[in-house]
Amino acid sequence: MIKLLIADDETLIRMDLKSAFKGSCFQVVGEAQDGFSAIKLFKQFRPEVILMDVKMPVMNGLDASRIILELDASVSIILLTAYCNEDLMIEARKIGFSGYIMKPINSSNIIPTIEMMHRNFKNYHSAQCALEKTQRRLDNRIVIDRAKGILMKQKQCSEDEAYQEIKNVSKERNFPMSEVAQLIISNDQVKVT
């Protein structure tokens, strides 16, 4: 079951949505009437999908989504909106929504629509994470290579020996190799200036 949260200030819409999810792969874990309670319920139930109305009292759906995505970038947030203008779409893309559904909601096809948006977002998010990991690894390698070069010059040692030294310090001090390398680079820059 996929945990889902409904956030809409209109009781009727929440009721309709809730009944549409009966017997589906989605389990409605909570209902919020405003953005503030959406954040509260998100922290409590950790849903994977949130249906988020844009216009709500206390805190609107855009602000609530921004805060939720800062807490957890892997949650699929789907906007529910009665209007759809260019400004809203630009804002929505910036915040990182998984999609949007126009009101009035057609509950007959809402399940496959949300399922597809959620699946696409999950794929996108894991690809994004893998990309960031690769980039971080690449950045670390560049830093370690630079530090190796500095050590080779300072100690007149081989590349292997320089690498081994970074590795040993990293082990002894329980610091990642990239941070040890960064320290070596910073110390060298201090000496130069």
Residues of this chain that bind Mg ion (CB under 5 A)? 9, 53, 55
Minimum distance from CB of 100 to Mg ion (Å)?
14
Minimum distance from CB of 181 to Mg ion (Å)?
52
Nearer to Mg ion, 4 or 51 (CB): 51
**Long-range pairs, 160-169, Cβ under 8 A, ≥24:** none
Minimum distance from CB of 123 to Mg ion (Å)?
30
Q: CB of 118 within 8 A of CB of 2? A: yes
Give the phi and the psi of residue 23 in degrees, each rounded to 5: 80, 5
Nearer to Mg ion, 9 or 91 (CB): 9
What's the rounded Cα separation, in Å, for the pair 145 and 151?
Answer: 10
Q: Residue 78: how many CB atoms within 10 A of its CB?
A: 21
Nearer to Mg ion, 38 or 180 (CB): 38
Helix (H) or strand (E) holding 51: strand 49-53
Nearer to Mg ion, 79 or 110 (CB): 79
Cα-Cα-Cα-Cα dihedral sign, residues 38, 113, 75, 5: positive
Say whether 109 sits in a helix, a strand or coil. Answer: coil
- 117: tokens are 């948006």
What's the rounded Cα separation, in Å, for the pair 186 and 183?
Answer: 5
Minimum distance from CB of 57 to Mg ion (Å)?
8
Nearer to Mg ion, 56 or 110 (CB): 56
**Which residues are CB-contacts of 37 (< 8 A; sequence separation ≥ 6)?**
7, 58
Nearer to Mg ion, 9 or 63 (CB): 9
Minimum distance from CB of 114 to Mg ion (Å)?
18
Minimum distance from CB of 9 to Mg ion (Å)?
4
